[in-house]
Every structure is written in structure tokens, then in C-alpha cells.
Structure 1
Amino acid sequence: MCSPEEADLLRLEEVFSTTLARTSSLILQPLLLADPEPSDSRGRESMQLLHRLHERAQRLWEVTELSLHSLRQRLHHPSSTGLKALLLLQNTDSVLRAHKEYIESYTDCMVVQAFQKATKKKSEYWRNQRKVLQPLLSHASSEGSLGTMLSQALQQPLAQHVQQYVLLLLSLRDTLGKHHPAQKLVMHAVTQFENLQSFMGQALDQAVATQALWHSLNSRLRDVLCTPTHRLLQDSQDIPVTVTPLRAERVLLFDDVLVLLQGHNVHSFDLKLVWVDPGQNKCVLHILTPEEEFSFCARDSQSQVVWRWKVSKAVCQALRGKKDFPVLGSIIEPSAPPDCRHVAYTFQHEGRLCQATYEGEWCWAKPHGKGILKWPDGRNHVGDFCQGLEHGFGICLVPQASEDKFNCYKCHWQEGSMCGFGICEYSNDEVYKGYFQAGLRHGFGVLDSALKASQPFRYTGHWERGQRSGYGIEEDNDRGERYIGMWQADHRHGPGVVVTQAGVCYQGTFQGDKMTGPGILLCEDDTLYEGTFTRDLMLVGKGKITFPNGFTLEGSFSSLSGKGLYTQGVLDTAALLPDPSSACKRQLGLGVFPLENRWQGVYSPFQDFVDAGCPGDMQEALLGFHVHSSRELRKSQEYLSCERSHPKDSAGSMEDTLRELLQHREPKALQPYLRKALKNSWHPLGKLLRTLMLTFQATYAGMGTNKHLQGMAREEVKQHAQELWAAYRSLLRVALQHQGQTLEEEDKQTRDLQVHGLLLPLILPSFYSELFTLYLLLHEREDGLYSQGITNLSLFPDTKLLEFLDVQKHLWPLKDLRLTSNQRYSLVRDKCFLSATECLQKIITTVDPREKLEVLEKTYREVEATVSRVLGQEYKLPMDDLLPLLIYVVSRARIQHLGAEIHLIRDMMNPIHTGGLYDFLLTALESCYEHIQKEDMRLRHLPGHWDSRELW
């Protein structure tokens, strides 16, 4: 059975539905027909508002009909439907939304006086309608204007209806028990409709105040400020404030903008970009906006509190994009808008941001966080901002004169300028990857020309204030040469080496890109010239030529273009052997470029990072990043949204790196940890190694592959090992400092042991390809003789070779030959000392000098084990027996480029092995290598020179 309250609700909805229908037919529809196509903009605006009001009135009627239907269902079928089925209770929010939308649309029309404007078009019609409209009003209003009468007719029925809703719902609540299933729904509906009453009252009050405001302004100000969305919240004429330093005559706070009036000038500030700072003075309120800062000075602290509360509340509403519902209470309590916001704004004041639009995060009136900055000329910057300036990672596109061409800067920024690691792609297709400072290339960097440039080049080295300065490598493909040396102000300046594709090398002093004064010229056949050059690298003046065979020519030289070389001097052919000092001179770069100064631009950012305590916000600026891009993508704005990978994707935070560092300090754990760290390009040590590999390849690979640079490359690898060990120690020191501990000093002997025994073997594989190639070229002649010797010795059967090498016969492992009765042992090949031969062949399977020496030791042990087995007892080979046996094993192992292998092992082995077993065995291997090269062995003892019967 339905309650009386439910029956009253039914009657209430029926009356309201009828009222809405009459309102639509008697008021809204005639208003729309008053001037269907107004000519002025204000008229069109009013007509659009009336259309919207009519649509929302229709929507409110539809919701009322649905509510009415649910009430009728409840009345006629009380047993089958419960209170929960009532639309007012089941879907209160939907009903509220229809009411709120109608109120908002109604107040929009009210603010711009749309009703008054519409009635002027058909004033006679509306005068005749007074009596018809009277029943829609709760009290007589015949004395008011037609516009006022229409306004009241559209608002009063709604206000009365909502009031009755509240009363009937309260009565329904009181009739239900505390545990009734619909009690919570009724309570919710009561609360919501009470809030709606307050909301409606505030909306009407604001609309009335705003409408009254327009009458107090002159027509010019009214035309600027009068918009349907504005609602006046506070006027300085009601609560006076003085504005400094702008000296505004009047302050108007609307629900979306803060307006300062100065005569006929209007200064509007979007509330989304207004920050309120109470400050220390209780009577002063500081207002911050993107381009203005000013203060409101009130007469007393109470007035300041009112303004602060109202401005803060308005800012909160503007940021939410809707009015408060329920309405905030009347108690004056400060509301705190968020410090950080996401808003779009176009700058107007003169300066670098003039007419630029920033969309992104703000904090205290400054771009702060992630955002996009766009200028009218097409410039775009997307990235991180701090206190109004580009700070952190950012991508900037700068349009060039030619169509669809951009310079793209992907870089770290500091206080508005590029600073740290960056990648810049220019409109001419040149690419720079390296470090910046104050917006200029500074530190280490690589500049590449376009792939199809008419004069392709690459510069790898140091920069200073945007110019090449310091140590650097330039590869000029057009001229077919590589310059290795010092630079100043974008010119070759100071000591340098030029390596050409033709194999000719120069070393000397450069000034203004030209070599001047004394220098060295090296030809591919090792001919060496020491003397002076012209700026065009022509021989002139006194000099000395040393030929590969040791002959020298010393005198005066002159070169005429196209006419050859003229000389007057003394040719010395007395030298029987080449001068050892000339061999040293044939290794370029030694002593010319101090090792510790070559790549300081690589180590400096790392050192700055360590000195700062390895902060996480500097990690990416040090380690770099990778941005996926393409030429086509650069032509569109989508390029600004590209994603990048960075250290956190692969290595975790810097805190994790330092923590892991401390966990692997013990000797057994240190080597695996360093190996892992050096392989990880996002680890500081791995990043350093990758950059050093880049510099090494730029210096010694490709066009720069020249045997005269072998000594320089060898020194550089050793220096890199020392620097990387120092870098590890620096990171360890920071990790300990974070734990409140200190790192003990390391003596030179301990450091050398760690560098040569631990770190050098770990990094050598990274440089091995280029380094070993230089060893191959340097020892090409000796390895050629060795290869010929191996070829000749391979013609010997085992026994003949053992006999030829004077190996004592009682040491021959004849049982290994497995002869039958019809075979003679002289016909069996490659069976003796097979285990030692196979062991020695493994020397080329590793790049670690220590592992190569271990292979050599195992080979020696295999030879001794074979001899001991033949003799039936343990036997220690004396040198007289070991050397011929080792020559046999080497000849059968057929290791290519053995000379290059031996010299690389000798140069890179740990100094602690000097004078020990490894040193002894390496010396023995060197003797074998030299013995196999001997000319008399090759020419006088070939099997082809023997009688054929000797082979049998």
C-alpha cells in the first residue's frame, strides 16, 4: 500500500509536468519565434541561449515524465514495485543533472538579459500575454517589466517544485523505519535536493549581481565583459582593495577570470593561472599570474581573508571546470587550490616567449614540469621545464628557411639552454651527438656529415664554446685522409698526425689547418723523411731520408709541383742494419699527445657526475638516451611526442647501482660484477667504455688503419684501463660516502695489479679488432716469412721433420704413429705430439693475454707429458730439448699471424709475469717464431732439394 507522501509526490510531479509543458508553449516557443535570424552578434548569442534553454526545459520535462511514470507504477502495483523503483530514489543524480542544466541555462539567459531583448521584438504580443502568464507566477507581478515577468515565470515554478520535493522527501523519510531498505536512498535524495536548493539560490544571486554589474559599467567595458559565462563573485566596490603596482581603479572577480579595470583598459587573468599567496602581511594578498605579479591591499585583515577565500574558491572551481555542488558553506575558511596545474596559455608581453603558447604543467605561475611550448614561427619545444625555463630533457624543432626543413635538438637543458648530452639533427642532414654547455657544443662530441654529402666528413673529439678545440679526430672522405691531433677555434692547431688512404703519413705542427716547420713523412714502404715542409706538405729545406734497408740520404730538398723532388746531399750506404732509433720514429703519435689529456672530454662529465655525488637527476645527462626517429617523422608535429629509452629502463636508479657496487667488493665477486657493468651501456662504467670504443674506432679503424699508429693505440688501451679503474674507484667512494664510510687510499703497486690483472683483460675485447689489425699490419713482413716457413716445413713427414729439427730420437713418440708391418714410419704425417698441437691452436680462441699464456703453458705441459710417456718416467725438458720440440709443435699447429699474436701478448701481459714461467715460455715461442723465419732453413733444407730416397 502506498503512503500519503508518495501520493503527494505523484500529484506534485503531475502539476510540475503540466507547468513545464505550458511554459514551453506559452513562453519559450514564442521567444524563439520573436527574431529567428537576428543580424547582430549579440542578438544571435541571445537566440542561441534561448534555444539551449528550450532544449534543457524539454529534457527536464522528459525526466519529470519518467519520474511520474515510476510513481504511477508504484501507485497501481504497490506489491510488485518497491520504493527503490522510484526514479527520484533510484536515479537521483540523473534528476538533479536535468535540474542543474536548466538552472545554468536559465541564468545564462538572465545574465545577458536575453528575455528583455526578445520581448522588445514583439512587445505588443507579450503585453497581451500578461494575463495568460499570471497563473505561472506565485504572486502578482503586473507592475514589473515584461522581461522580468518572463524571467520569473521560467524560474519560480522550478524553485517551488524543488522546495516541495524536499518537504515531501523529508516527510517520507520520517514515515520509514530506521531499518527500512529504502531509508538510505531517501536520505541521499533529501541531501541532494537540499544541496540543489542552495545551488539554485547561489546561482540566481550571482546572476542577479552580474546583471546589475553591467548597468554600472560604460558601454565599452560592458561590450568587453558581458558574456553569458561570467558570474560576478566579488566587486572591490563592496569590499575595497588597492592594487599595486598596477593601480587598478576597480577589481572584479568572476567565476572564470579576475579583471582589473584601469579607465577604459581591461586586464583579464584566467583563474586557472592565478596563484594566491597570502604573504606575511595580514592585510596584503599577493596574486601571481604568468606575466604579472600584483598585490591586493585591504583595509583590514578580515577583508583580506574574504578576498583570499573567494579568489581561492573561484580558482578551484575554474580548475574543475564546474561550479561547486554542493555549494560551499558560508563559513569563511581558506580553500587551497593546487600549486601544480595543467593549463594552456599564450604569452603576450615582449620577450623571448612573446606570442608563444605553452601547454603543460605549471607551478606558482611558471611553466614547471612537462609541457609543450610553441611559437608562431613554427618553433616547438617539448620536454621538462623548471621555474619557467627549459630544464631537463627536451626536444626542440626550429624551422629553417627551406620548406619542411627543421633543426631538431634532442638534449638536456639547464635554465633555458642546452647543457649535458644531446643529439642534434640539422636541416642539412648533419648530426651531432655529444655534450653541450650554455647552448653550445662543449666537451666531447661527434659531428657527422650527411650520408650523401658532397664532402663527407666526421669529427670525433673535443669542443669548446661551439668550436672544435682540443684533441680530436677528423675523417675527410673527400680528400681521403684522417687528421689526429690538436684543434683550436675550428682549425687544426698544434701537434698532429695525418694518415692518408694512400698509406702516406705526416706528423708535425699545424697552424691554421696547415703543417709548418719540421715534421716527419712516412711512406707505405717505411721510407722516413725528417725535415721541413711547406704549408702544402711539400718537402723543402734541410732534411734526411732513411730507407727501409738502412740507407740514408741527408741534404737539401726542394719540391716543384708536377716536376718531382730535387735534392743535393750525401747518400750513406754503409749501414748494414737499420738504425733502431728510426724504428721508433716510424711509430707516430708517441710522446706527442699526452695520454692523460687525449680524451678528457669523455671523462670530465663522469667526474662532474661523481663530484656531485651521483645524483639521479644527472644520470641521463651523463649516460645519454636513445630516441627513435626517422626523416619522415621529423616533418610532422608527431615528432614532439616521441619516446626515449633512458637509464631507468635498463639499469634501475643510481641508488641501486651504488648499492650493487658495495655488494660486490670482494675479489671473487668483483670481476663478474665489472664484466657485467662494462657490458651494460646504461651503467656509468659501461657508458664510458662505449664512448672510448667510439673514439678508438674513430682513430684507428677504416681509413685510419695504419701500422705506424700501433704504438699509439697500444698506449691508449692501457690508459683506458687505468682511467676505467679510477672511475670504478670514484663510484665506490661515492657509494661508501652514502653509507657514511670512506675509501682507503690505494698504493701504486696495488693499482697496477688491478689494472693489468683485472680490468685490462675485461676491456681488451672491446678494442681487440682494431688493435690486432694494427699488429697484423706492423708485423706483416715477419708473418709473411713465418707463413712461408710453415708452408715449407709442412712438406716434411713427421720423422723427417723431427730429424731435421735435431730432436733426439729417444724422445720420438713412435708408438703414436700406429704403423703396420708394411708401413714405414717416414710415410705417416701429423701424428706426433698431437695433443700439444691441438692445445696450442687454442691460443687464437681468446683475446685475454693471460688466457693465451695459460694455453702456452698447457702446451708445454702436454709436450712434457708426451715425452715422459715415451721415456716411461717423469722428465723435465731442458731448453736444448724443449726448443726443437716446440718448433715442431708450432709448425704443425699452423697458427696464422703468430708474430702479431706474440707481440700483442708481450705488450699486454701483466708485468708481474716478467721473469716468470710465462715470460720464459713466451720467449721460447718467440725463438721458435724467429727460427721458422730463417732464410737458410727455407732455402737449403727443403725436401725438394733432397734425394728422393732420403724421404724413404
Structure 2
Amino acid sequence: MFALEIHTLRTDWLPLVDMSLEEVASLLLRTEETFSAYLARIDSVVLTPLLQSGEDGSFENVDLFMLLNDHFHCLWALTEEGCRALKKTLETSESVSVRDFDLVWKVDLFLDWYTQYFSTFASCTVVQGFEHAARNKSEVWKSHKPALQQFLADFSLDASGAVALHMVLHKPFRDQIQQYNLILSKLKEAAGQCPESEAIVDAVGKFAKLRSFVNQVLDEACLTRGLWKSLGHKFTDVLCVPERRLLEDSQNLPIFPSMSRSDRVLLFSDILVVTQGSSFQSFDLKLVWVDAAETEAGKYALRVSAPEEEFFLLAKDPKAQAVWFWKLSQAIRQALKGKRDFPLWSTDGEESYPPSSRLFSFTFRAEGRLKNAVYDGEWCLGRPHGKGTLTWPDGRNYVGHFKGGLEHGFGICLVPRASEDRYDCYKSHWQAGKMSGYGICEYGDEVVYKGYFKDNMRHGFGILEKPSSTDRPFKYTGHWENDKRSGYGIWDDTEGAERYIGMWHEDQRHGPGIVITQSGACYQRTFHLDKMVGSGMLLMEDDSVYEGNFAPDLSFVGKGKLTFPNGFILEGTFSHKSSQGLQTQGILDTSGEQPDRQRTKLQLGQKEFPVEMRWEGLFSQFLEFVHSGGDGDMEEAFMGFHVQTSKELRKSQEYLFCQREKEEVPAKMNVLEDLFVHRELGTLQGYLEEAFQNSLNPLGKLLKMLTVAFQATYSAVGANKHLLTMAQEEVKHYAKKIWEFYQGLLRLALKQYSQSSENSGPNGPDAILPLILPSFYPDLFMLYLLYHEKEDDLYCQGVVDLSQETDVKLLEFLDVRKHFWPLKDLTLTKHQRRSLVKDHCFLSATDCLRNLITTVDPREKLDILQNTYNEIAKTISQLLGEEFNPSMDDLLPLLMYVVTRARIQRLGAELHLIRDLMDPTATGGMQDFLLTALESCYSLIQKEIQYHQNWQASQDS
């Protein structure tokens, strides 16, 4: 259409001989002066009157012409600046250097302004701007049309209207670019081999690309303009925008959607359009993914994926498929980059194809749970994938990870509560759009749940708590099923000051249970749908025991048996009236002469809650991880961290049973690799000690969870002597299950490194127990103290009485052989007598035994006992001048002396804890012998004080 030429700048007169730098500079100056004069005339004859005529809106797209005018003046100013600089150089300098050519050193500026000018010019062409401007009825424009005609006539051209405007506003610029190419070629020859030659070559290449870019831009504009003319207004009114370019048309290169062969496919620079009769669908290229595929409908197909849409484009042959795939990919890549290639369809050293992962915002329109929701974040293959934010119109929002279009991984979801200005906050792991794994949920009514989920429901181990600062506070620690308390669990009624330990079913106490009150009383009953049924056992604070039926307020009802602390038994029928108090009809048995110690130390719960089933749901989470083979997705939900979590998300993330404030999140935690490296016995203990202290390690997290469960059962109100056996066997069971979990992880590690399974020995749980005991020791030892309180009080009284004696009298009273008395080493002052000196014998052994209370490890306690014996033997050996190997008859009085002087309080609790939790392999050895001796000392001291009390009582009577 626009085949006319304006020979304003002749190039055929350029000399063929070599030129000097001064001659090239003069040539460039003349070229720039001629071009500048031409631009001045265009401005006065064309642009200025045209824009003046459009000020009243007399023609369309006046804004585009104003933008074109801005770019025009930038080019003009750049040309004028070059003219002035060259003229000054030629007039004032004796020589010219390559540094004086702005064409070389400002090449990027030239390219930028020419690119912007021609891009805007092409936009005017696309929207038929020159046609609209030519039809301008303004008087200002009419008065300048003769000048435009004369302007063309000066160059022997016969054109008018739109053709004239089009020609005048682009042909001189294209010719100038061509002129620059020729001048740069001459400059390259004139400069020869110089330090600036590389810059000249670079400028030559860039201007060559600019020529290619201009040709492509104008061709695309003409092609797009022709399309808009061929389509109806229903399409063009919506689709036609100045910056949009047609890149491919299925009418030129056949391809059709799988839904209909009659549909048309149009690829633009920013959208993909599929027409369907008189309607069409458009897809933003930034939200489009394309890949080659084979379908039943055709072999040469392209799969097109977009949010809420996926379809196929079918080609007739592989060539058409390849061309469409390449053009679609390049158009998507350029749309994502935000600008066209330079020149067009050139990657310019960048990636040839668009990335599969992208970042953008999109509003869902299709019916479903995401309708009208806005997603802002990472995408892959048309689906949210990676980190993002999903916001609904009703105020719901989710921030976190996605996979395949669904919430997957860690995320935080806020849900507004109906008719309340509050939110429920779910901080959880998700799978396939549902909460799965563990999470922390903070509800609007201040209730907090920390535990596991499955399909959006609380399922597995979890803690539900309402803080004491609110009305009717409570805490539940235990198992859940389908959002309801089911299985074994602990309920703390903070307001009622009691704790329930037992079975649940659908949110109600159901099955055997133990209730402990703040006053110290506890009872064991069977519950049915939250109500007590049948008879039970009530253990009161004064050690009275009632067996039978009783009411929720603990008043006796019906047949029962009441055993008093002194051994008396009252059996009969009980009733209770508020005005008359407790009434009974029955038989009182007073034959018991001594309190029944077994009765006052009754232990509850072992038969009703076998230790294997108490926290079965808690262990199952860890075993499932092992059975999955250490699945990566499950590890994130299981461990509660993701190394790629953004800093912003990590700040708001709370981790269940993970004390992150004390631990740094590692760049990468390879648990299996660490297990494999430290699997040998020499390094195993050190590794396990570190693992148990780190709640980011699976072993450390399991220990942390078990500690929480243990404290929920046995601390505070739960510190009741009737639960000691339950607690003791629970700790032992923990060691066994942790060892099993470690073995499972080790098998995974060995499999990963293609190693055969190893036999780690039969004493694994016994090696684990001392390592985990510090986590449970405070609450467990408190139970031992309560259980042995009376015996320890008796023992302490005996130690106090014996400690008042001097060394000589105490050794004599304990029947220690005199040749074992280390008295000759005593240094007496003139005011001392040997018979009055106290606490000077066996000092090293006494100090050693006092260390018994400084450690929680039964092994270390036995080592201390062994060292105490060694110190006694050492002292006697030095005294006798020979090795001392005492019999039990000799050792016992010596050890009693050391125990008396050591004055260890609550020794009975210490001894029983050691006996209950010591390594079975130590049974029958020297340490077992010494422990037995120490137990005998403890018993003898109690018997001594009992004998003394009985003798005193007989004297008083």
C-alpha cells in the first residue's frame, strides 16, 4: 500500500575510496544537518497543525499522535545535539577521534528512541490513526493541507491524505537509520585497529538489528491493521488496542481447537484468541502454558493450559505444530518479560522458552469454591503452585503453599466468624486443599488447638485449650477422631479443679476413667456417655479407701466398703443427706492392728489403660512417616518446617512442639544422612543426645510430644501417688517406642545408601531410657516422693537422731569394727577430745554419696554408689595397710555411717527410682549388690526409729 519512496537523503554519492576520521565526521555532520532540517519542516507542516486541530477532539487517537510527537521531538533533540557536538569538534580541534562520534558512544540511546518512535508509529497504523487524522474536518488542518501537498511535491511525490501522513512520518527515519549504517561502516574502515574498534563493531551490529526491528514492526502493524478491517465490530470493539499485534493466524498457518474445526485461532503479542462462531475466548499469554502432546483427536497437538481452562490445538502436520509451538512459546516469553524482543523473535542470549513457574494475580470466575477469589502468587501449568495468597470476597484468606491448584504444604488461613468481629486462624499443613498433618488453630473464642488434622478435621493426637484468663477454662490432651475426642485422653477442668484420665467416645467420657481432684482425692469409675455407671473405687486424701457406688459429689450411695487408714473396715449400705450427713448400716471390722500399706498405696490405671494403647495415635504419626519411606511431602507436614518457606511466612508460622526461638532453621536437614553417619555405637550416644535436644529432628520432636503428654497427665493436679506405676511403665514404654522409631529411620537410611540392615543389639531401649529420662524426671520424681513420703519422713527422723551422735559413739552404736575406725588421722586441738569429734570420719565417701541427688541418670547414680564404696574401701585399706574386701556384715554398718553423715533427704524415693529404672544388665553385679546394701541401710534406719518410738510409747504407758 505504501510503496512510494522519498529520496530526501541520497547515499549514492558516498565516495568508494577510504576516508579519514575527519571526513567521516564531516559526512555525519552533513547528514545530521539535513535530517534535522527535514524534521523541522515535518514539525511545522505536519505535526504542529495536526495536533492543534485535534485539541478539540476532532479526530480519534489524538493521544497516540501526542505520544508520537513526544518521541519525534526526542529524536530531533538527539540529532541537534549530535550536530552541535560535531560542529564544535571540527571547528576547534585539530584532529577527530572515535570518541567524538555520539553514534558510537550513545548507540543505546539512539536505539531506545528510535524503537519507541517506531513502536508508537506502528500503534497509529494498527488503529488506522492516519486515516482518521486525514479525515479531520478542523479548519486548522484544512488550512495546512496545501502546505503538506507542497511538501510532498518538492520531492516529486503524488500522495494525499492518509498515505501522505504515513509516508512523511516514517520514511525519513528509516532512511536515516540506513545512512547511519553506511557511515558507521566508513568509520570502522577509517578507525582501523584501535582500542575503540570493538565499540564501533558493536554499534554497527546494533543499528543492523534496529533496521530489522523497524521492518518487522511495520510488517506486523500492517498485518494487524488488515485483521481488524476484516473482523466485525463485535470483535474489534473488544480486542483492538493500539499496542496489540497479530503474530499468527490459523487461516494462514492451519491449526484448530479440538472442540471445533471451524473455529479460528489468533495469536497476538499479549493474548491468545479462539473464536467460536460469533463469540470468542481470550487468554492472557502471561497465564498460558503450552506443550506438545498427542490426543485421540490428532497426533500433532499442542496442550494449552490456563487458569480454569485446558484445551488442545490440533495441527495437520509436524511443521505446523512446530511453528505454532515456537511462536506461542516466544510470545508467552516476551509477554512475561514485559517487552518485545529486539529485534523481534530474538532471545538475545536469554532463555529460549518461557519458565514453567510464574508470578501473577488472577481472579477466578468459574463456579466452585474459588469463585470470585483472587489468587496472587506462583503458578505452574495454569494452576497455583508454590507460594501465594488466596483471598475471598467474604474476608477469608489463605497464605501459604499450593500444589496443582490446591492448598498443599504449610499455610495460614483466616476465616471470619459469623456475626462477630473475630477470625479463626488456621496455621496448618495442607494436602490437596484440606488440612492434613499438624497445625495450630487459634479460634475467635480464644480456644487454641495444637495437633493433627485429616481432611479438615481434628484427627490423631492434639491439644485443645481455653486459657485460664477466659470463662470456663479447660484443656484436653489426647486423641481425636473426625473432629471429636475419641480414645485415650486427659481433660483438665481448670474451673472445677479436677483432671480426668481415661477413655472418650464422640466428645464424651466413655469407658474406664480416673478422676483426680485438687484436694488430693481420686477415684476410678466406668463412664457411659459422660455419666458414671456401676461401682468404683474412691481413694481419699487421708488414705481411706471406699469401694462401691458414689455420686458425682463423692458422697457414698448404696452398698460399699470403707477402709480406714488404721485398717478398720466398715462394710454396709451408705446414704447421705445434707441435714444428717453420712449414714450407714453395716459391720465395722476393727481386727486390723496395723494400717494396710498395700491398701494406702493402691495403684490405678494399669489394667484399665494398658500402656501400649495410651498414646497409640501419637506414635502412629511417626510410624506412618517411616512406612512412607521418608516421603518428602509427608516430612514437611510431619516435621513442621520447609527450608524454602519465605521469611515473611516463616515469621508468622508457629510450629507444634518445636521451640524455634532456641533453634535456627537449618539450610538443609538431612536426618537420614546423619543417622547413617552416626550409626556406629561409638558415636551413636552423642548423636542421640543432640537429636533429643533438637525438636527439628524427628527423634527430638517425638520426645517433645511425649513430654507434653506426660506433663498433661502427671503434673500439677495429676501429681498423685496412686499414679506412680502408670507413670513409671509409661516412661519405660516411651524408651521402647523411641528405639523402634530410631530403628525404622535407620533402616531408611541404610536403604538410601544401599547398605544391608544391621543388628544394633538387644539393649536399645535400655540405652535410650537414661537419655530421655531428664525430660520426665521432675514429674516422675514428684510421684516417687509422694508415694514414699511416710517412709522418707521416718527415715529422715532417724537420720536426724543418729546425726546428733559423735563419730565414736555413732561408730560404736552401728557396731563398726574398731580396727575400721579411721580415728588416728584426726588432728585434735587442745580443746577437743576424740570422743566429741563429729563429721570427720569417711569424709570422701560422705561427699561422694551426697552427689546422688545431682543427677537424674540411674546409671550415674549407681556409679556414684560405686565410687562411694571405693572411697570407703580406700580409707579402710589405708588404715589396715592391705586391700579391703568387706563382707555384707562389715560393709553394712560402714555404709550406714556414711548414709547418716550424708543426710540425703528423700532417699527412699531415690532408691526406688534407681531400682525401677536401672539397666537390667546391672542386675546381679557389684552395683546391684551395693544398691541392695543401701536399701538395707534405709530400712534399718526406719526400723531403728520405729523401735525407738515403740520403746518410748511403752515407757510412757
Whether TM-score is above 0.5 comes out as yes
Q: Pick which of 101-110 and 18-27 moved more.
A: 18-27
How many angstroms apart in 2 are the aligned matches of 1:481 and 1:288?
60
Q: 1:940 to 1:573 in 2, by over 3 A?
A: closer
CA distance in 2, matches of 1:557, 1:458: 34
Task: Report what 1:897 is aligned to.
Answer: 906
Match of 2:43 in 1: 24
Classify 1:352/1:163 alpha carbon distance in 2 versus 1 (closer, same or farther; 3 Å).
Answer: same
Query: Partner residue of 1:54?
Result: 69
Question: Residue 36 in 1 paired to residue 69 in 2?
Answer: no
Structure 2 residue identity aligned to 1:105 = T
User: 1:297 and 1:513, CA in 2 relative to 1: closer, same or farther beyond 3 A?
Assistant: same
Instruction: Show the 5 A alignment for 1:326-725.
Output: 326-328=343-345, 336-401=353-418, 405-534=422-551, 538-560=555-577, 564-579=581-596, 582-583=599-600, 586-625=602-641, 642=652, 650=665, 653=668, 656-725=670-739
Percent of aligned pairs sharing the same letter: 51
The residue type equivalent to 2:607 in the other structure is: G
* Residue in structure 2 matched with residue 276 of structure 1 by the alignment: 290
Per the alignment, do residues 873 and 173 of structure 1 end up closer, same or farther by CA in structure 2, a change over 3 Å counting?
closer
Q: In structure 2, do the counterparts of structure 1 residues 23 and 490 end up closer, same or farther at CA, with 3 Å as the change threshold?
A: farther
Give SS of 1:509's match.
strand
Residues 797 and 945, structure 2, Cα contact 8 Å, conserved in 1: no
Q: Quote the Cα distance in structure 2 between the aligned partners of 1:345 and 1:248.
A: 30
Q: Deviation per CA, 1:208-248, whole angstroms, max 9, x where unpaired?
A: 22233333233333221221221122333444543332677
Q: Does 1:13 align with 2:32?
A: yes
Aligned to 2:471, the other structure's residue is in SS state coil
What is the one-letter code of the residue matched to 1:754? G
- Distance across 1 between alignment mates of 2:681 and 2:304: 62
Task: String of CA shifts for 1:522-541, please: whole Å, max 9, x gaps.
Answer: 11122111223456655333
Which runs of 5 or more structure 2 residues have no equivalent in the other structure?
Answer: 1-19
Deviation per residue, 1:544-575 (Å, 9 max, x gap): 22222222222222344675333222211112
The match for 2:842 is 833
Q: Does 1:935 align with 2:945?
A: yes
1:911 corresponds in structure 2 to 920
Q: In the alignment, is the contact (CA less than 8 A) between 1:130 and 1:142 conserved in 2? A: no
- In the alignment, the residues of structure 2 paired with residue 939 and residue 567 of structure 1 have an alpha-carbon distance, to the nearest angstrom, of 36
- CA deviations 1:729-771 (Å, max 9, x no partner) are 112211112232332567xxx52x3322x21111111111111
Secondary structure in 2 aligned to 1:474? strand
* Deviation of 1:792 (Å): 2.2
Q: Which amino acid is the alignment partner of residue 23 of structure 1?
A: I
- Residue 427 of structure 1 aligns to a residue whose secondary structure is coil
Change (3 A) 1:803 1:940: farther
Residue 73 of structure 1 contacts residue 81 of structure 1 at CA under 8 Å; is this kept in 2?
Answer: no
Check conservation: 2:22, 2:95, Cα contact below 8 A.
no
Stretch of structure 1 that moved more, 811-820 or 239-248:
239-248
1:445-481 Cα offsets, whole Å, 9 max, x none, are 1122145220111211111121111111121101111
Partner of 1:755 in structure 2?
A: 765
Give the match for residue 876 of structure 2: 867
The code of the aligned residue for 1:664 comes to H
The aligned counterpart of 1:66 is: 81
Partner of residue 866, structure 2 = 857
Q: Distance in 2 between matches of 1:537 and 1:263?
A: 83
C-alpha displacement of 1:253: 2.0
User: Structure 1 residues 936, 437: closer, same or farther in 2, change over 3 A?
Assistant: closer
1:209 is matched with: 223
- d(CA) in 1 for partners of 2:580, 2:238: 87
SS in 2 for 1:900: helix
Q: CA deviation at 1:588?
A: 1.5
For 1:26, give the aligned amino acid. V
Mapped contact 1:390–1:417 kept (Cα < 8 A): yes
536 and 780 in structure 1: CA distance in 2 versus 1, 3 angstrom threshold: closer
SS for the counterpart of 2:272 is: strand
Residue 588 of structure 2: SS of its match in structure 1?
Answer: strand
Query: RMSD over aligned Cα, in angstroms?
Result: 3.0
**CA separation in 2, counterparts of 1:126 and 1:487?**
91
Tell me if the contact between 1:518 and 1:532 (Cα under 8 Å) persists in the aligned partners.
Answer: yes
- Which residues of structure 1 form unaligned runs of 5+? 630-636, 946-952
1:168-179 superposed matches below 5 A: 168-177=183-192, 179=193
The 2-side partners of 1:187 and 1:847 are apart by 81
- Tell me how far apart the structure 2 counterparts of residues 304 and 935 of structure 1 sit (CA, whole Å): 102
Matches within 5 A, 1:804-819: 804-819=813-828
Match of 2:789 in 1: 780
Letter in 1 for 2:91: H
Cα separation, 2, equivalents of 1:461 and 1:559:
36
Change (3 A) 1:604 1:322: same
The answer as to whether partners of 2:565 and 2:600 remain within 8 angstroms in 1 is no
1:267, distance to aligned residue in structure 2 (A):
1.6
Query: Match for 1:768 among 748, 764, 777?
Result: 777
User: Match of 1:605, as an amino acid?
Assistant: Q
| Partner-residue secondary structure (3-state), 2:764 | helix
Deviates more, 1:313-322 or 1:765-774: 313-322
Deviations 1:594-628 (A, max 9, x none): 1111112222121111122223443232222499x
1:755–1:250: structure 2 CA closer, same or farther, 3 Å change rule? closer
Contact preservation (8 Å) 2:436, 2:453: yes
Instruction: Tell me the SS of whatever aligns to 1:5.
Output: helix
* Matched letter for residue 395 of structure 1: I
Matched residue SS, 2:440: strand
Are 1:790 and 2:799 counterparts? yes
The answer (yes or no) to whether the contact 1:515–1:533 under 8 Å persists in 2 is no
Count the aligned residue pairs. Answer: 919
Amino acid at match of 2:614: R
User: Secondary structure in 2 aligned to 1:278?
Assistant: strand
Match in the other structure for 2:331? 314
1:208 and 1:759 map into 2 onto residues whose CA distance is 80
320-329 vs 92-101, which moves further: 320-329
Separation of aligned partners in 1, 2:187 and 2:151: 27
- Tell me, in whole angstroms, the C-alpha distance in 2 between the residues paired with 1:438 and 1:454: 30
Counterparts in 2 of 1:139 and 1:300: CA distance versus 1, 3 Å: farther
Q: What is the distance in 1 between the residues matched to 2:908 and 2:844?
A: 23
| C-alpha distance in structure 1 between counterparts of 2:923 and 2:551, whole Å | 46
Tell me, in whole angstroms, the C-alpha distance in 2 between the residues paired with 1:560 and 1:152.
Answer: 114
User: What TM-score, normalized to structure 1?
Assistant: 0.90
Quote how far apart the aligned CAs of 1:282 are: 5.0
Superposition pairs of residues 84-233 of structure 1, within 5 angstroms = 84-118=99-133, 120-134=135-149, 137=152, 143-145=159-161, 147-177=162-192, 179-233=193-247
